[in-house]
Amino acid sequence: MTRHALLCFRGTGGEWGLDYTSRVAQACSALVEEIDVDAPATMGAAPVGAATDPLAPSGFECVHAMVEWAVTWVRNNPTRTFGVAAYSLGAIGAVVFAQEFRPGGRLQRYRANFLFGVTFGNPARARGHTFYMGEDPGGEGISDIRLPEGMFGAEWADLVQTGDLYGNVLGNPLVVKVCRDAYALVMTQQLHDPLRLVFDMLPLILRIVADSVNMPLSIPGTITSGFLGLIAAFLPYLPVDNDKTAAAIGAAVQGIGFALAQPPTAPHITYEFAEVWPGMTYFDLAVQHVNDWAARTPASA
């Protein structure tokens, strides 16, 4: 039986067959075929790859590699219907890939083949966007990359927990900008897993705090959980006399809470356990979404 393709854009270190996107594809295998988007961020059949390589490419370079691979796949399969499943860094790749289907994009002529998408912890999530009848978690993705407005309706689902800093920065635009600037800088550097990423972002955010309050706070380049615990206790006592200071402190509070969650970065790595509704996890909802939209359109090879 002909099935739709499900292009799987993994997060850093995601292993084929084991990560969220693969598991969604497996759960929906009656309707979709798993297509692994190859990129340095992921691990192949063996547990090796750039996710553990000290000479790894940057996050942005990995996104570019994902997009180019997927563009080539579409061109090589010009009549194949497909959807995407994406997680974390891979979700940025999926969004940039989707941009190629805009008028004037490299894949504009294949737009009718692109049927649906689902993401977990999407750093490129637009403010207020979740899933059909989903509750607004209140924030937006930490990246400045976004889906083209109006390109998708309910067929694109962004699944995000409230405390997931990468997919849901809370606060006003100034708070978002502080987090976004730190994230963008780290993304130009060597590839990071979710935990290392936030620990590399936080010194940058804390230095903004120190500059904004004009206090000689000594922020090391490498920080520990113990140091973050001390800073967290100190932050409420800093003087807040302008919007910049308030934004920097707000960003730091979110980042520290995310890093010190149990397990660290928990809201970003527990989508198979966390419930979006009583009795249904985010992972279950992703499976339901893919099965629903895949069943609506006959597959084309």
Give the domain ranges of the chain: 4-161+270-296, 173-266
| 29-33, 42-46, 232-236, 284-288: range with lowest mean pLDDT | 42-46
Q: Which whole number is the average pLDDT over 207-223?
A: 75
| 135-144, 231-240, 288-297: range with lowest mean pLDDT | 231-240
* Closest to 36 (Cα-Cα) out of 47, 48, 26: 26
User: Tell me: the pLDDT tens digits for 157-180?
Assistant: 999 999 999 999 999 999 999 999
User: Which pLDDT does position 187 carry in this prediction?
Assistant: 86
* pLDDT above 80 for 219: no
* pLDDT above 70 for 217: no
User: Which pLDDT does position 53 carry in this prediction?
Assistant: 59
Q: What is the mean pLDDT of the chain?
A: 89
* pLDDT above 90 for 127: yes
User: Which pLDDT does position 195 carry in this prediction?
Assistant: 78
- Please give the backbone phi and psi of residue 159, each rounded to the nearest 5 degrees, phi first: -100, 120
* More reliable by pLDDT, 89 or 49: 89
User: Which pLDDT does position 49 carry in this prediction?
Assistant: 39
User: For the domain with range 4-161+270-296, which CATH number is right: 3.40.50.1820, 2.40.30.40, 3.40.605.10, 3.30.1330.200?
Assistant: 3.40.50.1820
**Packing angle between helix 243-259 and helix 194-213, nearest 10 degrees?**
150
User: Tell me: the pLDDT tens digits for 77-105?
Assistant: 999 999 999 999 999 999 999 999 999 99
User: Which pLDDT does position 41 carry in this prediction?
Assistant: 64
User: Which pLDDT does position 215 carry in this prediction?
Assistant: 65
Please state, in angstroms and rounded to a whole number, the distance separating the CA atoms of residues 116 and 153: 9
The three state secondary structure string of the chain is: CCCEEEEEECCCCCECCCCHHHHHHHHCCCCEEEEECCCCCCECCCCCCHHHCCCCCEHHHHHHHHHHHHHHHHHHCCCCCEEEEEECHHHHHHHHHHHCCCCCCCCHHHHHHEEEEEEECCCCCCCCCCCCCCCCCCCECCCCCCCCCCCCCCCEEEECCCCCCCCCECCCHHHHHHHHHHHHHHHCCECCCHHHHHHHHHHHHHHHHHHHHCCCCCCCCCCCHHHHHHHHHHHHHCCCCCHHHHHHHHHHHHHHHHHCCCCCCHHHHCCCCCEEECCEEHHHHHHHHHHHHHHHCCCCC
User: Tell me: the pLDDT tens digits for 232-282?
Assistant: 888 887 888 888 889 999 999 999 999 999 999 999 999 999 999 999 999
User: Which pLDDT does position 152 carry in this prediction?
Assistant: 94
| b/e burial code for range 143-155 (CB count within 10 A of at least 16 → b) | bebbbeeeebeeb
Q: Are 167 and 125 in contact, with CB atoms under 8 Å apart?
A: yes
* Closest to 281 (Cα-Cα) out of 91, 27, 8: 27
User: Which pLDDT does position 208 carry in this prediction?
Assistant: 86
User: Which pLDDT does position 14 carry in this prediction?
Assistant: 78
User: Which pLDDT does position 16 carry in this prediction?
Assistant: 80
* More reliable by pLDDT, 215 or 138: 138
User: Which pLDDT does position 194 carry in this prediction?
Assistant: 79
Q: What is the pTM of this model?
A: 0.91
pLDDT class of 190 with cuts at 50, 70, 90: low
